Amino acid sequence: MSTHDSAGGESLTGNTSASAPGDTGRPANPPSAKSPTGPEDVGPRADKRSERLVATCFGVSSLAAIAFLVVFWALPKTDVAYTPLLGVCLAVSLFGVGVGAILWAKKIMPDEEAVQERHPMYSTPEDAAKTAAVFAEGTEKTGVARRRLLRYSFLGAMGTLALPIVPIISDLGVHPRGNARQLKTSPWKKGDRLTTEEGAPVRIGDLEYGGILTVFPNGNTSPSNSLAPTVLIRLRAGENQPRPGRETWEVDGHVAYSAICTHAGCPAKLYEQQTHHMLCPCHQSTFLVTEHCRPIFGPAARPLPQLPLALDNEGFFVAGAAYQEPLGPSFWERS
Amino acid sequence: MTSTAAGFAAAGRRRRKLASYAVLLTALVVLGVTYAVLAPRGHAASTAEESFAVQKGRELFQTSCATCHGINAQGTQEAPSLIGVGAAAVDFQVSSGRMPLARPGPQADRKEAKYDRAQIDQMAAYVASLAPGPQIPQVDLADGDLQLGGNLFRTNCASCHNFAGSGGALTYGKYAPRLTPATPVQVAEAIRTGPENMPVFGPSTFDDHQVNSIVKYVDYVTRSKNPGGLALGKFGPVPEGLVIAVVGIPALLAMTLWIGARA
Amino acid sequence: MTTMTGKAIGGGARYVDERLTSANFIRRSMNKVFPDHWSFMIGEIALYSFIILLLTGVYLMLFFDATAREVIYNGSYMPLKGVPMSEAYSSTLHISFDVRGGLIMRQIHHWAALLFVSSIVVHMMRVFFTGAFRKPREINWLIGVGLMVLGLLEGFAGYSLPDDLLSGTGLRIAYSVGQSVPVVGTWSTFLLFGGNFPGESIIGRLYVVHILLVPGILLALITAHMMILWYQKHTQFRGPGRTEENVVGSRMYPSYAAKGGGFFFLVFGVVAALGGLAQINPVWMYGPFNPSQVSAGAQPDWYIGFLEGSLRLSPGWEIRAFGHTIPLNILIPGVVLPGIMFGLLALYPFLEAAFTKDKAQHHLLDRPRDKPVRTSLGVMSLTFYFVLWIMGANDIAAHLFRISLNLTTYMGQVALFLLPPLMYAITYRICIGLQRSDHEVLVHGVETGTIHRLPSGEYIEVHAPVQESQLVLSPVEPDHPERIEGERGPRALVSAAGRAVGSFFVAKKKDTSVPADQRERDDDTLTKR
């Protein structure tokens, strides 16, 4: 800024209209004469009153700051009023300074209205031409226009310098191609037991009619296995209307679906046991459990994938097969 | 396909026709009351050992429930059968004021209970006498484990009732209610019986210790003091954004007006 | 100024000046004139919030540990004692419960973040509706749009750091949005998250983004924004003595410094009061992130709410062909739509200049009513945004007001396309109406409230002609305060408060004071419509 303001262009407009260059720009009036507003504010008494008011603000601020310290140290931090009191003390302390400063400006400083000229927001044609000439002269001296070899080898060097960025960035994650395959792999294998969050396997009879349970493959509740969460639901006999070919995927009214919404990947498990709606709380996709969890409302485009169920010889629920399609939200490589 | 506690109030099915049914309902209530007064009593269970409570309960039932649930609680077009729902379902529905239904809607709203403790116990005894069902759970908060309860709550309850039991919307006008007004026993009853669209969590899904833990956590999270000031309804970022839009920005704009004002 | 302090200041100033030759620059800076209009201080709220964010953020950094490593919580929040969780979440609980004053610092930080983005948006609205973005200020508009987008990013990164259930759900959605981009989506999300969701890396990476990368860029852009502002000087509303060639207002020192400095403390005070009295982001209740858990009403902070809304309103469209899937139900509402919205916002000054063929420099602001097309376009866009924003909270609204959730969605889908054009038409009519009433006053004068009875028996109200002294207070030179007294008569039509409110709310009949040729031009535009 200083370069401009001290440049010649500014001098023809000046700064504040009435202050000559070199002047401090302050009106030379005693404070008492500067009271700006109505008659009741004029005079030394009003001025004194304003001064006391501003000083009171600053005083309140100091007191509040001390109160902050008192609360900070004297109150146990577990007290339910601890944080609110700290907030109030801090706020009062800050308001005191702020209100005081503004009142000072409004009541004690002169209410001036200053005018400042703008400098033109463009350079003179001569200036622009001069600059262009300097640039042209410099470019000419480099010879970049004539020396094609230099030009292209330089551009080539800049281009090849960008190459090292590629492996550096791609090493941020494990190799993407392998991971895309990982997205398509079912976290459940055939024969995996359905276990609760605490790792207990689930058997017939553990769920009442209208019951739902979040289950994991063989006790693997690790957060890294984020596509694995599945819900096991017990429908009443005859309620399920399986897709053709999936008649054997239910066991005695029990059905299992991926809990991960096919829209944006939230756990969609707000199950209404009478309407059999399964709602996702994030974007309100609604799936109909009795009809292979097909989407009936909201942004989801695909049904929740179904996990084929079976019983092992101890009577516990197991996956009858792996999931037959990729779980969770769609992605480019998904067919 | 007999209904259980699960089908306690099939309100959802009725909501469209109900404007016209309101009149019919009134007529039915009158009819039911008349019937209850005039009809010969206790033809279903007139054995000598029928307790006083069951008998009183049946009287109450026939005055105020039978019009919808059927004279023998067998269920009607209007409302599900109560045979086998157990004492827990009756206690939950009547003590939370959801039953008798005030007005038809997507689901029964909580309101002031219409009957006192003794009457509710009598009705519960009557319904429990019809067929075995979940008993009123014995809640023991001291047995509960706060940490276990918190995790169970977040896995099984928070998805509908929100992280702090503030409730949330479900499909087509239904909702998971706020848990603050619910007593610990009512929370346990809801878990066990699955009122309306709520899933059922029976004793082999959650044992008593797990239920006690969930109830203890609900009690904690709905009743504990908030260390950070006003809780803003415990609905997450939405009320926080509203506070900035309605309090923060307007307060600061008012201050700019004051600062900008010429003396 | 006593001679003592004068001497002290003089000595210090000389010391600096003999090293930096700064006297000239400092004097000009102190004499720099700032317009007094209240709406010019909204941007300051954003600046001050940013300073508060830096202060509290540094404090929080000293305690926060941004690692996904699993630990067993052993702090004083009972319901999570002994629960396995990430170090990030555990250290956030530690700040909230076991560091004295830690909770209030967290809450001030979060409230300041909400205020930062809010005030940027309100500031942009002011700049937009008054035409302050026009030549020569397009560059600052672009920087401003960049600041806003970075502000959203910074906020979202910060919201995600505690690794609680709510923010984890948000990250899960962000991951899905990234994944939805054709061809490069899966690759880029794998790179960003270091693998499949949630991975171990994202919290640490977001931390770097949140405390270094974005704040660094924000700081640089804010500096550029302020330097350009300083260099170009403020715009100003029209008024007597106010021209395209000058700025009228208070000087930087002392008046504006005291007011602006005081305002910093007021902003800080509001944020401190909120931080103490209103609980924000109670992560302890959300619980640690777990991909199998979710809470009803899972919402982002307000500034991401419009994206949440657009995702909710989206129909279930998806393209599956040639062995690939394009999830339009995420791609359009989550990537394409915000891209178009921010793109149009950034390009608006250039579009307007192209359509109006206006190549002139502008330092005098428009009143919104005088540019009905721009104003209506702005209201239309804001309506569109507002519908999306409301729909981001439709489940809370449905629950609290007992409306069917599904009905709110249908209403939102209709409103998104119906309301914006409707609001355009309404706004346009209001603007024209206001213009006509202004014109009325100019032509017929001000209603005096005095009723006269004509000899014919007819009653008329006397209209006084508009006098310049009644219209706006005239500017005066700062060195002649006596003229302030002289020109501010009790008859002033525009009260002090009205003057402060300025032409946003009070019709200043400024046109009488502008040169005749200028006035004619304005009248022309009025009569054309």
Residues of C whose CB is below 8 A from A10: 28
Which residue among C184, C245, C405 sits closest to A117, beta carbon to beta carbon? C245
Contacts of A99 (CB under 8 A, 6+ apart): A57, C262, C266
Q: What type of residue sits at position A10?
A: E
CATH number of the structural domain spanning residue B103: 1.10.760.10
Q: Is residue C465 one of the residues assigned to a domain?
A: no
Q: Is the Cβ of A272 closer than 8 Å to some Cβ of chain C?
A: no
CA angle centred on C402, ends C397 and C405, rounded to 5°: 60
Q: How many Å separate Cα C206 from the centre of its chain?
A: 24
The two tokens of residue A268 are 């969609």
Residues of B whose CB is below 8 A from C476: none
Q: Which residues of chain C have pLDDT under 50?
A: 1, 469-529
Q: Is the Cβ of B225 closer than 8 Å to some Cβ of chain C?
A: no
E strand or H helix at A234, and its extent? Answer: strand A230-234
Residues of A whose CB is below 8 A from C327: 263, 301, 329-331
Contact check, Cβ <8 Å, B248/C267: no
Taking the CA of residue A298 and the nearest CA in chain C, the distance in Å comes to 6
Residues of B whose CB is below 8 A from C501: 257
The two tokens of residue B251 are 């307060």
Which structural domain range is residue C240 located in? Answer: 31-361
Which residue among C76, C184, C247 sits closest to A116, beta carbon to beta carbon? C247
Taking the CA of residue B29 and the nearest CA in chain A, the distance in Å comes to 26
Q: Which of residues 303-322 of A touch C (CB under 8 A)?
A: none
Q: Which of residues 228-257 of A touch C (CB under 8 A)?
A: 228-229
* A9 has pLDDT over 80: no
Q: What is the pLDDT of residue C7?
A: 78
Whether A269 and A278 have beta carbons less than 8 Å apart is answered as yes
b/e A52-89 (16+ beta carbons within 10 angstroms → b): eebeebbebbeebbebbeebbeeeebeeeebbbbbbbb
**Residue C298: closest CA among chain B residues belongs to which residue?**
B236
User: What CA–CA distance (Å, rounded) separates C384 from C338?
Assistant: 12
Q: What is the pLDDT of residue B32?
A: 57
Q: What is the pLDDT of residue B248?
A: 95
- Three-state SS at C449: strand
Q: What is the pLDDT of residue C514?
A: 38
Which structural domain range is residue B91 located in? Answer: 44-130
Q: Is the Cβ of C320 closer than 8 Å to some Cβ of chain A?
A: yes
Q: What is the CATH number of domain A177-335?
A: 2.102.10.10
Q: What is the pLDDT of residue A50?
A: 92
State the virtual CA torsion across C55, C60, C66, C71 in degrees, nearest 10: 180
Helices (H), C393-514: 394-401, 405-444, 468-471, 481-487, 496-501
Q: Is residue B39 one of the residues assigned to a domain?
A: no
Which residue among B159, B172, B174 sits closest to A267, beta carbon to beta carbon? B159
Q: How many Å separate Cα C437 from the centre of its chain?
A: 31
Q: Which of C202, C208, C212 is nearest to C170 (CA)?
A: C202
Phi then psi for residue A143, to 5 deg, are: 75, 15
Q: Is residue C392 one of the residues assigned to a domain?
A: no
Q: How many residues does chain B have?
A: 263
Q: What is the pLDDT of residue C512?
A: 37
Contact check, Cβ <8 Å, A286/B262: no
State the virtual CA torsion across C405, C407, C410, C411 in degrees, nearest 10: -110
Band of residue B28 on the pLDDT scale cut at 50, 70, 90: low
Band of residue A174 on the pLDDT scale cut at 50, 70, 90: low
Q: Is the Cβ of B158 closer than 8 Å to some Cβ of chain A?
A: no
**Residue C265: closest CA among chain A residues belongs to which residue?**
A98
User: What CA–CA distance (Å, rounded) separates C337 from C15?
Assistant: 57
User: What CA–CA distance (Å, rounded) separates C260 from C256?
Assistant: 6
Q: What is the pLDDT of residue C140?
A: 96
Q: What is the pLDDT of residue A225?
A: 87
Whether residue B121 is found in the same domain as residue B186: no
Whether A306 and A293 have beta carbons less than 8 Å apart is answered as yes
User: What CA–CA distance (Å, rounded) separates A239 from A231?
Assistant: 17
* B118 has pLDDT over 80: yes
Chains touching A (3+ CB pairs < 8 Å): B, C
Whether residue B56 is found in the same domain as residue B81: yes
Q: Is residue C387 one of the residues assigned to a domain?
A: no
Q: What is the pLDDT of residue A43?
A: 76
Q: Is the Cβ of C381 closer than 8 Å to some Cβ of chain A?
A: no
Return the percentage of chain B with pLDDT > 70, whole number. Answer: 80
Taking the CA of residue C385 and the nearest CA in chain A, the distance in Å comes to 17
Q: What is the pLDDT of residue A16?
A: 38
- Average pLDDT estimate for A109-122: 84
Band of residue B33 on the pLDDT scale cut at 50, 70, 90: low
Please give the model's pTM, rounded to 2 decimal places: 0.86
Which residue among C270, C294, C296 sits closest to B252, beta carbon to beta carbon? C270
* A254 has pLDDT over 50: yes
Q: Is residue B252 one of the residues assigned to a domain?
A: no
Q: Is the Cβ of C88 closer than 8 Å to some Cβ of chain A?
A: no
Band of residue A145 on the pLDDT scale cut at 50, 70, 90: confident
The two tokens of residue B72 are 């023998």
Q: Is residue B23 one of the residues assigned to a domain?
A: no
Q: Is residue B20 one of the residues assigned to a domain?
A: no
Residues of A whose CB is below 8 A from B168: 270, 281
Whether B204 and A206 have beta carbons less than 8 Å apart is answered as yes
* B8 has pLDDT over 50: no
- Which of C109, C292, C293 is most worth mutating to test chain A (most A CB atoms within 10 A of its CB)? C292
CATH number of the structural domain spanning residue C152: 1.20.810.10
CA angle centred on A24, ends A22 and A29, rounded to 5°: 135
Q: What type of residue sits at position C101?
A: G
How does pLDDT run across A125-134, given as a tens digit for each residue? 999 999 999 9
Contact check, Cβ <8 Å, C195/A179: yes
How does pLDDT run across A211-235, given as a tens digit for each residue? 999 999 998 988 888 999 999 999 9
- Average pLDDT estimate for A252-276: 94
Residues of C whose CB is below 8 A from B162: 295-297
Q: Is the Cβ of C340 closer than 8 Å to some Cβ of chain A?
A: no
- Which of C1, C274, C294, C491 is most worth mutating to test chain A (most A CB atoms within 10 A of its CB)? C294
User: What CA–CA distance (Å, rounded) separates A280 from A150?
Assistant: 61
Return the percentage of chain B with pLDDT > 90, whole number. Answer: 61
User: What CA–CA distance (Å, rounded) separates A87 from A83?
Assistant: 6
- Average pLDDT estimate for A280-287: 95
Lowest mean pLDDT among A174-183, A237-246, B119-128, C222-231: A174-183
* A3 has pLDDT over 60: no
Return the percentage of chain A with pLDDT > 90, whole number. Answer: 65
Contact check, Cβ <8 Å, C395/B217: no
Q: Is residue C407 one of the residues assigned to a domain?
A: no
Q: What is the pLDDT of residue C9?
A: 78
Whether residue B106 is found in the same domain as residue B75: yes
Q: Which of residues 78-107 of B touch C (CB under 8 A)?
A: 106
Q: What is the pLDDT of residue C173?
A: 95
Whether residue B145 is found in the same domain as residue B218: yes
Q: Is residue B263 one of the residues assigned to a domain?
A: no
- Three-state SS at B118: helix
- Average pLDDT estimate for B76-85: 88
**Domain closes at, from B78, B97, B130:** B130
Question: How many domains does one find in chain B?
Answer: 2
Neighbours of B163 (CB within 10 A): 30
User: What CA–CA distance (Å, rounded) separates B60 from B117?
Assistant: 13
User: What CA–CA distance (Å, rounded) separates B160 from A269?
Assistant: 9
Between C480 and B65, the higher pLDDT residue: B65
Question: How many domains does one find in chain C?
Answer: 1
* A40 has pLDDT over 50: no
Whether C500 and B257 have beta carbons less than 8 Å apart is answered as yes
Q: How many Å separate Cα A104 from the centre of its chain?
A: 40
Q: Which of A107, A110, A109, A23 is nearest to A57 (CA)?
A: A107
E strand or H helix at C448, and its extent? Answer: strand C446-453
Q: Is residue B109 one of the residues assigned to a domain?
A: yes
Preceding peptide of B227 cis, ω within 30°: no
Q: What is the pLDDT of residue C48?
A: 97
Size of interface A-C (CB pairs under 8 A): 358
Q: Is residue C445 one of the residues assigned to a domain?
A: no
Size of interface B-C (CB pairs under 8 A): 210
Neighbours of C131 (CB within 10 A): 22
E strand or H helix at A279, and its extent? Answer: strand A277-279
Whether B134 and B86 have beta carbons less than 8 Å apart is answered as yes
Whether residue B182 is found in the same domain as residue B117: no
Q: Which of C295, C289, C385 is nearest to C68 (CA)?
A: C289
Q: Is the Cβ of B158 closer than 8 Å to some Cβ of chain C?
A: yes
Contact check, Cβ <8 Å, C330/A223: no
Whether C276 and C104 have beta carbons less than 8 Å apart is answered as yes
How does pLDDT run across B131-147, given as a tens digit for each residue? 998 999 999 999 999 99
- Average pLDDT estimate for A302-319: 94
Contact check, Cβ <8 Å, C248/A114: yes
- Average pLDDT estimate for B86-97: 93
Q: Is residue C259 one of the residues assigned to a domain?
A: yes
Q: Is the Cβ of B69 closer than 8 Å to some Cβ of chain C?
A: no
User: What CA–CA distance (Å, rounded) separates B34 from B28?
Assistant: 10
User: What CA–CA distance (Å, rounded) separates A229 from C198?
Assistant: 14
Contact check, Cβ <8 Å, A334/C195: no
**Domain closes at, from B84, B108, B130:** B130
* A25 has pLDDT over 60: no
Q: What is the pLDDT of residue C462?
A: 77
- Average pLDDT estimate for A262-288: 94
Whether A285 and C301 have beta carbons less than 8 Å apart is answered as no
Phi then psi for residue A318, to 5 deg, are: -135, 165
**Domain closes at, from B130, B164, B181:** B130
Q: What is the pLDDT of residue A211?
A: 94
Taking the CA of residue A254 and the nearest CA in chain B, the distance in Å comes to 14
